[in-house]
Amino acid sequence: MADEPGTLPDGSYDAFVVDADDREGGTALDLTITSGEFKGQVLSVASASSLGDPIDLLGMPATLTIAFGAPSVTIDR
């Protein structure tokens, strides 16, 4: 189980983009976990670089990877 509400343990998670927004030169995403123990949990992450047009990102499948407590997201195009 995660140590704090809204956090996940290190690992790889299937996810779905439910919201995306341009923010300070980067992209903010809300992701819903789609399988496993944390299915249905929504997490917010932000990137320092643009991941693309926020409208195009909505509904896209993604892989969320947590390593040493730090998230990274790959959009599965």
Q: Which residue type occupies 15?
A: A
Which tens digit of pLDDT belongs to each residue from 14-60? 999 999 999 988 999 999 999 999 999 999 999 999 999 999 999 99
Section 4-13 average pLDDT: 80
Cα–Cα dist 17/34, whole Å: 10
Q: What is the band of 3 on the pLDDT scale with cuts at 50, 70, 90? A: very low
Structure pTM? Answer: 0.87
> What are residue 57's phi and psi, to 5 degrees?
-80, -25
The predicted structure's pLDDT at residue 6: 56
Cβ 51 vs Cβ 60: under 8 Å: no
The predicted structure's pLDDT at residue 8: 92
